[in-house]
Amino acid sequence: MADKGKTVHGEAANAGHRVLAPDDAEVEAYLETALNAPGPERAATDRPATGDHGTVVVLDFGSQFAQLIARRVRELNVYSELLPHDTRMAEIEARGATAIILSGGPMSVYDAGAPKPDPAIWSGRLPVLGICYGAQLMALELGGDVLPASKREYGPATVSITADDPLFAGIDREQPVWMSHGDSITRLPEGFRSTAHSGSTPFAGLVDPDRNLYGIQFHPEVAHTPRGRDVLRNFVVGIAGARATWTPANFIDSTVAGIRQRVDDHARSVGTDGLVICALSGGVDSAVAAALVHRAVGDRLTCIYVDHGLMRKKESELLRATFEQHLGMRLVMVDARQRFLARLAGVIDPEQKRKIIGDEFIRVFEEEAARLGQI
């Protein structure tokens, strides 16, 4: 069991606040928020272009820190994607993954319905790092034992590194860390050896070197584990061999070039001027898309913002100022507040509201797009 009922102060995301910054920083600010925001799984063909930098896949087992793990990897200049815990190994490999990280989670490995990964991830085809619940899963699935700990560890602890291991290269033998688990690994699977322990956790670190499987019972992604960044770097760069050359800036460059090429190819094939329209909802995803497309095609882009009346006070005015004055985009503002509110009148169920909003948004967007003529 891991992560239950604990928070780490200072790590709260500010994704709900719009960031205003000049030029590249504006796009990077939106991009950072979008990459860390939960959302539907992307198809492998829709993933951001990373060139030959490699990708570290973080499988999400419900940890409040899962997004933070992906962010910490990106801070090492290695691209990372957060995917559902049951993503198939074939899909992971199709994304060009160089390594897999298993997040912690709020459940016990023995709970009914406890999430489990595709067993193929244990094959040794890619290096795997299990964090907390992820480490317990690794041990249990491969034949070890996991039991409720005699003493739950929530908060600061000291880990003693007891064996030479590339995961702990360059790190002192005694390390302050942050723990958050109620279960403990009590017997290692065949092929594993212990690399660290704490006062209450006999196997705070474990490794099967033949299959490149690593597990730790502490959280390297949080600020309360001072050398956690080095642990992640040792795994991602030292063990997995990922190239530390990815940045939001080079992602922007490669994505903009790809958009420009696609628009130009389409324009030539159908004999148009390569005009583009983009729907703006006021959310992060559409803002990122619009900013990137504008960088690619400039004034050939027209953004359509559908004001559905559900934004925060004066947020529509802020959006208009941001896109028209700050970013210099051509923006069509559509006041559809009464249409949306009329369709939502009397509706209580949140899921039904979501579907109505999505359906009406598409209808309004299509109507406005038709007024612009051939695109």
Q: Whole-angstrom Cα distance, residue 193 to residue 49?
A: 38
Note the pLDDT of residue 341: 94
Tokens linked to 8: 């780490």
* Distance (Å, whole) CA 76 – CA 168: 16
Nearest-angstrom CA–CA distance, 256 and 297: 9
Dihedral sign, Cα of residue 228, residue 234, residue 239, residue 244:
positive
Q: Is 132 in the active site?
A: yes
- Strand ranges for the chain from DSSP E: 55-60, 79-84, 97-102, 128-131, 145-161, 174-187, 193-198, 205-208, 213-216, 276-280, 301-307, 330-335
Matching CATH topology for 23-239 and 248-371? yes
Longest dimension (CA), the chain: 72
Spatial distance between the Cα atoms of 339 and 51, rounded to a whole number of angstroms: 44
φ and ψ of 355, to 5 deg: -65, -40
Per-residue pLDDT of the chain (375 residues; tens, 9 = 90+): 544 433 333 333 333 333 333 344 444 444 554 444 444 444 444 444 444 568 999 999 999 889 999 999 999 999 999 999 999 999 999 999 999 999 999 888 888 899 999 999 999 999 999 999 999 999 999 999 998 766 666 789 999 999 899 999 999 999 999 988 778 899 999 999 999 998 888 899 999 999 999 999 999 999 999 999 999 999 999 999 999 988 888 888 889 999 999 999 988 988 888 899 999 888 888 889 999 999 999 999 999 999 999 988 988 899 899 889 888 899 999 999 999 999 999 999 999 999 999 999 999 999 999 988 766
Beta-sheet pairing, 97-102 with 128-131? parallel
Looking at 32, 53, 85, 132, which residue is catalytic?
132
Q: For residues 185-201, b (16+ Cβ closer than 10 Å) or e, as one string?
A: bbebbeebebbbbbebb
Q: How confident is the model at residue 375, as a pLDDT?
A: 62
Of 221, 224, 278, 303, the active-site residue reads 221
So where are the chain's domains? 23-239, 248-371
Q: Which of 53, 219, 224, 308 is labelled catalytic? A: 219
In angstroms, the CA 68 to CA 58 distance is 10
CATH 3.30.750.24 fits 248-371, yes or no: no
Cβ atoms of 179 and 133 within 8 Å: the answer is no
Residue 83: closest CA among 35, 122, 51: 35
Structural contact between residues 77 and 214, judged by C-beta atoms closer than 8 angstroms: no
- The radius of gyration computed from the CA coordinates of the chain, to the nearest angstrom, equals 24
| Residue-wise DSSP of 128-185 | EEEETHHHHHHHHHTT-EEEEEEEEEEEEEEEEE-S--GGGTT--SEEEEEEEEEEEE
CA distance 323 to 329: 6
Return the CATH architecture of domain 23-239: 3-Layer(aba) Sandwich (3.40)
Q: How far apart are CA 215 and CA 116, in angstroms?
A: 15
**Nearest to residue 294, comparing CAs of 281, 318, 273, 275?**
275
